[in-house]
Amino acid sequence: MDVTVVEHPLAQHLLLALRDTGTEPSRFRAITKRLTVVLMLEAARDLPTHSASVDTPLGRAEGMLLDKPIVTVPILRAGLGMLDAVVDLFPSVRVGYLGLRRDEATFRPSEYYVNLPRMEDAYTFVLDPMLATGGSASAAVEQIKAAGAPWIRMVAVVAAPEGVEKLHSSHPDVGIYTAAVDDGLDANAYIVPGLGDFGDRLFGTEP
């Protein structure tokens, strides 16, 4: 399976704070942003670059620039919690949106909103905090490929083995970057131990 678990101490420190039931929504949002920065740095570690040079106040300096633009597509609504971190890292990023709703009886995703930018010339990162069954992630990647994206990576806060296997079997060319692969799914297809309903905790809409 092409999955990279980001074991950086800061990633694991932040993940444990997200798992904590005592973490209130405002802090949950702030921690999500910080953790996404760490995950994205790892997911973008090997992006191709080319040589370039600039004038500094004291002379000429050689360096590197990314070869292609960056696109990011958060899966609504929980993926929005990861978006600001990517925009901060890549200010010229093109942002698309995919709205996928899970049927609580069948656990299958249904699409309710799509707005995607030009992607055929870019590196695309899909943001989905919880890679659970893998149904939504697989459907999202299918849609993004159909829109012309030639290169895609999935960035998740936590994943279940079932979700990793589903995405890998459907799209073996898509790498997965996450802070943890947890034990599995419960009867309601929630990740265990996970961290609960990410969207509800992010937006303060827990019942």
Q: How far is CA 175 from CA 5, 31, 145, 164, in A?
A: 11, 24, 14, 10
What is the DSSP annotation of 94-155? Answer: EE-EEEEEE-TTT--EEEEEEE----TTSEEEEE-SEESSSHHHHHHHHHHHHTT-S-EEEE
Examine the residue annotation and report whether 72 is marked as an active-site residue of this protein. no
Q: Are 135 and 107 in contact (CB under 8 A)?
A: yes
Beta-bridged to residue 51, according to DSSP, are 64
Examine the residue annotation and report whether 103 is marked as an active-site residue of this protein. no
Examine the residue annotation and report whether 102 is marked as an active-site residue of this protein. yes
Name the catalytic one among 2, 34, 84, 197: 197
Name the catalytic one among 103, 106, 118, 205: 106
Question: In this structure, what token pair is assigned to residue 40?
Answer: 């994205």
How far is residue 32's CA from residue 103's CA, in Å, rounded to a whole number?
25
Examine the residue annotation and report whether 197 is marked as an active-site residue of this protein. yes
Enzyme catalytic residues? 102, 106, 197, 200
